[in-house]
């Protein structure tokens, strides 16, 4: 079994606790669905947000999901690079899996699709 990283990112329209929590869960749900993830096999999730977001801890939304309370979660602030995508939430999910690197499905939603158009599925609705 290998430990693989799965990237994910989304954006919100405003610095609002409810929207941050909703988009966090939406991103996680898409990552789980596309990669057939189970909390037991998640090593940890690293979550960053851009500095313009400070209304909520995204990890709080994940911890409230059944079966996810023991998954190690860490929140941090994204490096403030001039001109970078605003109001962005990013995930790095480390998972123990038999899947090859090429089988991993990275997830980019909303305006975050611009970050990695090569990895974004065109059929995903914002």
Q: Is 41 annotated as a binding residue?
A: no
Q: Is 26 annotated as a binding residue?
A: no
Q: What are phi and psi of 37, to 5 degrees?
A: -85, 150
Say which DSSP state 84 is in.
P
Bridging pattern class, strands 107-108 and 2-11? parallel
Q: Is 108 annotated as a binding residue?
A: yes
* Residues identified as active-site: 7, 63, 75, 78, 90, 108, 116
Beta bridge partners of 45: 73, 93
Q: What are phi and psi of 120, to 5 degrees?
A: -85, 135
Binding residues for prephenate: 7, 90, 108
Binding residues: 7, 90, 108
């Amino acid at each position: 079994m290998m430990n693989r990283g799965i990237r994910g990112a989304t954006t919100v329209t405003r610095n609002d606790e409810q929207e941050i929590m909703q988009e966090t869960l939406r991103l996680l749900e898409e990552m789980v669905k596309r990669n057939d993830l189970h909390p037991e096999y998640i090593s940890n999730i690293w979550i960053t947000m851009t500095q313009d977001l400070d209304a909520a801890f995204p990890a709080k939304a994940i911890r409230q999901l059944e079966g996810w309370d023991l998954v190690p979660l860490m929140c941090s602030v994204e490096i403030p690079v001039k001109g970078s995508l605003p109001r962005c939430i990013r995930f790095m999910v480390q998972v123990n899996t038999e899947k090859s690197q090429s089988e991993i499905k990275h997830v980019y939603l909303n305006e975050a699709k611009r970050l990695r158009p090569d990895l974004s599925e065109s059929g995903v609705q914002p």
